[in-house]
Every structure is written in C-alpha cells, then in structure tokens.
A and B are shown apart, each in its own frame.
Chain A
Amino acid sequence: MDDLTAKLAADLEGGFPSLVESAGPGLYWGLRRLCSDHQEAEDLTQETFIRAYRALSGFDRSRFEELRLSPWLWTIALNLGRNHLRNRSRRPTLVEIHDHGRNDEEPPDTAAWDARFSALPTSQRRAVVLRHVVGMGITEIAEVTGRPEGTVKADIHRGLERLRKVMEQEK
C-alpha cells in the first residue's frame, strides 16, 4: 500500500481530504479535456469523489491492499461520464457553492485546448487524455477503458497525429 492508501485505510474521514487534494487536479483537468465544459467536469469530479468515499466506507483491509487509487477513481469517473451524457438534464442534488471571492481565471489557453480536443473521436480523445494529460500507463488505460492494449496504443498514436494537425492549422 502507498502512504495515501494506508492513511485512508487507517482513517477514512481524516485521510479523504488528502485524496481530494492529490487526485483532484488530475481528475478535474482530465475530465475537463474529455468534456470541454467546466460545469460538467466539476460535477463529475465531485460525484466521483462522493461515490469513491461511499465505496471506501465499506472496504475491508484486503480491499484496501488491492486498491490502486488512480485507475479505480478513473473507472468510477468514466462510468459516471457515460451516464451523465445519457441524463444530461439531471443535475446532482448537492450542492452549489456560493461563488464568494471565486477565482474564475482559468489558465490562458484553456478554451483553445477545449476546441482542439473537440476535434478528436471519443476513444482517441480518452486515450490521449489518460496517457498524456493524466499520465496513466498503457496497461492501466486498457483496464480502465476496457479496450485491448494494442487498440489503446493505436488510439493514442492517431489522437496525437490529429491534435498536431489541428494545431498546425491554427497557425
């Protein structure tokens, strides 16, 4: 078990904020590249962690020992994403934070990347994002997406080609 998983196993309530802090940025920005929408990426990130917390509450020692946090979180997130697309109108019940002093400034090229990724077919987009934005290994991507490793590699290759082309056209 890595340090964070051990912390969660020992004290879920106490350790969970650390999980959100360490896995949250990768999850949000990965989802953001997949759906090109702040609100949707935010909802999916929150819902993924909420589901994860409920699931972890029922884990025993052996489940924690088998747990690999990042692929597990992404499995939850991608499942939610599929259902989310199906029920786009249904919004999560909790909870809209008041935007007090909210920092609305996004990194400067966020909108440009939203547009670039929109040019990729879903499977290529997903493979490229998980590999190069999130930094996940090929084996894990294959596991999380339920596709053969060879297909994942081909998707990454073609996806990168496509992105290069789109960016060249911008010039």
Chain B
Amino acid sequence: MSIESRLSGLVSGLPDGISEGVALGTGLADGYDLYTSPVGEVVVTFNIEGVSSVDLAGAGFEDRFAERHGRRLFRAAPPSAWGKHIPEAMEAGTPGRLPVDLRARTPFQARVLRIAASIPKGEVRPYGWLAREADRPGAARAVGSTMARNPIPLIIPCHRVVRSDGHLGEYSLGGPHNKWELLTHEGVEPARLEELADHHVRVQGDPATGVYCHPTCHVIRGTDQWNVVDFSSTAKARAEGFHPCDQCRPGW
C-alpha cells in the first residue's frame, strides 16, 4: 500500500464531545449539571453568558428546556471561570458573582428579576413593592407573571415574592409547597405570614423608633416583638406618626 493512500485513510470519526463543545461555544446549545437544593435535585443550565435556567431534575427536563428556550442541552461541566459560584449562589438565594443569562427577558422583566435578587435571605416582599422599586407602581400583575416565568428560580429568589395581600401565593418550581419549604429553610415562618395576611396586616411599626416595616424585615424582627404594632396599610401607619423603614422601603 502506498504511503499516500495510507495517509488518506487517517481521517476517521470525530471524537466524542467535540460537536457538543462547539454547540455550547457557539450558543446553539446549553450545558447542564445536577445540584442538590432544599427542594431536591435540580438541573442548572448554563451557556457562555451565564446560568440560563434552574428546573427540577427528573424525566422531561430536556424537552421542557428545548420548548422554553429553543436550544439543545448537553451534560457538561460549567465554565471554570464561574462554575464554582453555582452552589454558593443557590445557598445564598442570589446570583452574587454568578453571571445570569436574561437575554430572552424584556428590559422590564430583567430589571424586576434583578430587583427580586436583592431581597435579603429570610425576608419576603409583595408584588406591589417590586413594581414600585422598578418605577412601574401600577404593574403588580406584570411583576406577578414575570415571577411565574422566572427562568432561574432558587438563584433569582422569586420564592421571596408574595401576593400583595401578604399570602404566599403560587410557585413555579414544583408548586406552593416548595415555596413553603424554601422559606422555612431560610428561617421565615410561612404559617406566621399566612396568619398576618389573614388579619390584613401589611406593615408593622416599632413605637420605640417610629419606623414601620414589612413584617419580615430584619429591622422590625430585631426589635422586641411584644411592642410591635400591626397596620393594615402604610397610610394607617403614617397617620399614627410612623415613617417608612429605609432598609425594606415599604412605601408611603
């Protein structure tokens, strides 16, 4: 056999992993890996922009991803530059140094999601608060649907956003019982929140400082709970001479 024909036979198949690497690097596909969370095993997907979604692990997550995002998924290690921040972002319930891919959201949705990510661990805020913080005070419903379609739950903590009447409300990652579970894990007492909502309590004031807060704000939680005064609206708190907390910004 001539050397020329031996050389021409040296091209064989493409080794495994190359076409997947190309698909990830071009943005035609995302990678995924599995992580544990308080609500069980979850799939975290990512691409060159950052983390793109979080979903419950189990049958069908690849199809759901393709349907929602229009891309394929491959199991892969996350980019070494920030992959190590994924577990800490899930534990903290905020992205921190982890980049997130919100390109498919509208600018308003992306802004609302980033504001939601600023809610401290162990506290909750109503939809109306998010709408106000995003400079669209009338857009509480749009905020609600943005939370319902949050692609990155756990890391963008939509579980810390509750209905404007104070009730816990729906949760996209497996249903309301998971919201209950996550808030309990963070030290919020969901049963107490439901009870306050049943009694129409929206804000609570501390007579010692004259400040009123959202009921889960660390400022009001840090005071003597026996003295705390309940209000069914911010107007009623103000009428009693209270002023809004500059930490949780409950509004006028």
Number of A-B contacts (CB under 8 A): 111
How many residues belonging to A are interface residues under a CB distance threshold of 8 Å?
Answer: 44
Residue B15 at the chain A interface, CB threshold 8 Å: yes
Residue pair A93, B81 in contact (C-beta under 8 Å): yes
Residue pair B77, A98 in contact (C-beta under 8 Å): yes
> In whole Å, how far is B10's beta carbon from the nearest beta carbon of chain A?
5
- Which of chain A's residues 1-33 have a Cβ closer than 8 Å to chain B? 13, 16-17, 20-21, 24-26, 28-30, 33
- A96 and B77 alpha carbons, distance in the complex (Å): 6
Q: Mark B1-23, 1 if CB is under 8 A from A, else 0.
A: 00110011011111111111111
User: Quick one: closest B residue to A156, CB to CB?
Assistant: B4
Task: With A29-B12, A53-B26, A100-B75 as known contacts, state yes or no: A93 contacts B7, CB within 8 Å.
Answer: no
Residues in B whose Cβ lies below 8 Å from that of A36: none
How many residues belonging to B are interface residues under a CB distance threshold of 8 Å?
Answer: 32
Residues in B whose Cβ lies below 8 Å from that of A42: 15, 17-18, 21
Residues in A whose Cβ lies below 8 Å from that of B80: 93, 96
Residue pair B23, A133 in contact (C-beta under 8 Å): no
Residue pair B14, A24 in contact (C-beta under 8 Å): yes
- A13 and B28 alpha carbons, distance in the complex (Å): 7
Residue pair A29, B3 in contact (C-beta under 8 Å): no
Q: Mark A40-65, 1 if CB is under 8 A from B, else 0.
A: 00100111011001100000000000
Residue pair A50, B25 in contact (C-beta under 8 Å): yes
Residue pair A33, B10 in contact (C-beta under 8 Å): yes
Task: With A53-B26, A133-B7, A160-B4 as known contacts, state yes or no: A97 contacts B12, CB within 8 Å.
Answer: no
Residues in A whose Cβ lies below 8 Å from that of B48: 93-94
Residue pair A133, B11 in contact (C-beta under 8 Å): yes
Task: With A53-B26, A94-B48 as known contacts, state yes or no: A25 contacts B19, CB within 8 Å.
Answer: no
Residue B79 at the chain A interface, CB threshold 8 Å: yes
Residue pair A49, B22 in contact (C-beta under 8 Å): yes
- A47 and B18 alpha carbons, distance in the complex (Å): 10
Q: Which B residues are closer than 8 A to A by beta carbons?
A: 3-4, 7-8, 10-26, 28, 31, 48, 74-81
A-B contact pairs, 9 of them (CB 8 A): A20-B22, A33-B10, A97-B16, A99-B16, A103-B15, A103-B16, A132-B8, A133-B8, A134-B11
Other than the given A95-B31, A97-B17, 17 more pairs (CB < 8 A) read A24-B22, A30-B11, A42-B15, A42-B21, A50-B22, A54-B26, A94-B21, A94-B24, A96-B76, A97-B74, A98-B76, A99-B17, A102-B16, A107-B12, A160-B3, A163-B3, A164-B3
